[in-house]
């Protein structure tokens, strides 16, 4: 959850001069990258169509990495920055409140005796829904930097802090719903769960790591801690995301479904950071001032 109005100002890649040009370049790279394995497959007498299809699916990622590597750093576009200040923040806030609104709607339908989507086990539905919302919001927080790096749209970082806070909000509600609807406020029951079930222990650890991040997600904390210390503290987001995904993965018996999708997305986001870091190290010094 790095922050500041524009983290890495002056470091960030600017939007390309012509967005269309970049999109065309990306698409050309995409198709070209898919043709190579197909041609090799054909030469080797393999199913060229299969290799073309598979590469077509995989190469957009390669195309994005390619564009990111060839783009040169430049300053941010002021118009986009202004737009983000005025529209992006309230828009994102609204989007972040939608899952809560949906939950409130389901509960009000249930309480007024009308049909609702929660099934017969309302408690389980509620805390599972909140857990899913928390982990997905957390993954969106981690996706902000890659999206900024790929698109060059620096103002997107303006909303990272509020998305991270929303992840904490939903995770805290998830615990509260579990404690209330499943454990009926029994502290002994909760402690027993934490000690007996590994996945609950991991969930608890993830939530504990989220607390210092949520508490320091404000301008005052950045000033008090200093930028360097604050950045170091917010590195906690990586272990906590791994703990949250492990919490989710350990509660299922098979490698399938939403937990696997969450784990795959996290692996890709972490891999992106490693690649980005390695590329920054390899770039000439003036490019990463």
Residue closer to ligand HEM (CB basis): 21 or 261? 261
Choosing from 84, 135, 177, 237, the residue that interacts with ligand HEM (CB under 6 A) is 135
Is 171 a residue that touches ligand HEM (CB under 6 A)?
A: yes
Q: How many CB atoms lie within 10 A of CB 25?
A: 16
The C-alpha angle with vertex 278 and arms to 77 and 214, in degrees rounded to 5, equals: 65
Is 122 a residue that touches ligand HEM (CB under 6 A)?
A: no
- Shortest reach from residue 33's CB to ligand HEM, in Å: 34
Is 165 a residue that touches ligand HEM (CB under 6 A)?
A: no
Q: How many residues bind ligand HEM (CB under 6 A)?
A: 21
- Shortest reach from residue 219's CB to ligand HEM, in Å: 25
Is 131 a residue that touches ligand HEM (CB under 6 A)?
A: yes
Is 128 a residue that touches ligand HEM (CB under 6 A)?
A: yes
Is 99 a residue that touches ligand HEM (CB under 6 A)?
A: no
Q: Which residues would be at the binding site for ligand HEM (CB under 6 A)?
A: 124, 127-128, 131-132, 134-135, 138, 171, 174-175, 178, 200, 203-204, 206-207, 244, 247-248, 251
């Amino acid at each position: 959850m790095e922050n500041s109005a524009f983290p890495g100002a002056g470091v960030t890649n600017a939007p390309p001069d012509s967005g269309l040009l970049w999109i065309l370049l990306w698409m050309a790279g995409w198709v070209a990258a898919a043709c190579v394995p197909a041609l090799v497959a054909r030469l080797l007498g393999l199913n060229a169509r299969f290799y073309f299809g598979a590469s077509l699916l995989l190469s957009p990622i390669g195309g994005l990495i390619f564009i990111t590597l060839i783009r040169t750093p430049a300053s941010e576009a002021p118009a986009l920055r202004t737009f983000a200040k005025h529209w992006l923040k309230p828009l994102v806030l609204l989007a972040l409140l939608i899952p809560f609104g949906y939950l409130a709607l389901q509960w009000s339908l249930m309480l007024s005796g009308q049909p609702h989507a929660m099934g017969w086990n309302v408690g389980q539905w509620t805390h599972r829904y909140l857990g899913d919302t928390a982990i997905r919001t957390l993954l969106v927080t981690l996706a902000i930097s890659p999206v900024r790096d790929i698109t060059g749209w620096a103002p997107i970082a303006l909303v990272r802090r509020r998305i991270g806070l929303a992840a904490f909000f939903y995770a805290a509600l998830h615990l509260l719903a579990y404690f209330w609807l499943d454990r009926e406020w029994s502290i002994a029951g909760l402690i027993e769960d934490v000690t007996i079930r590994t996945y609950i222990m991991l969930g608890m650890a993830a939530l504990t790591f989220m607390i210092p991040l949520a508490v320091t997600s404000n301008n005052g904390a950045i000033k008090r801690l200093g930028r360097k210390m604050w950045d170091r503290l917010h590195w906690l987001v990586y272990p906590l995301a791994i703990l949250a995904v492990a919490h989710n993965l350990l509660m299922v018996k098979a490698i399938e479904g939403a937990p696997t999708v969450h784990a795959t997305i996290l692996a890709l986001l972490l891999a992106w950071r490693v690649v980005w870091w390695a590329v920054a190290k390899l770039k000439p010094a003036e490019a990463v001032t």
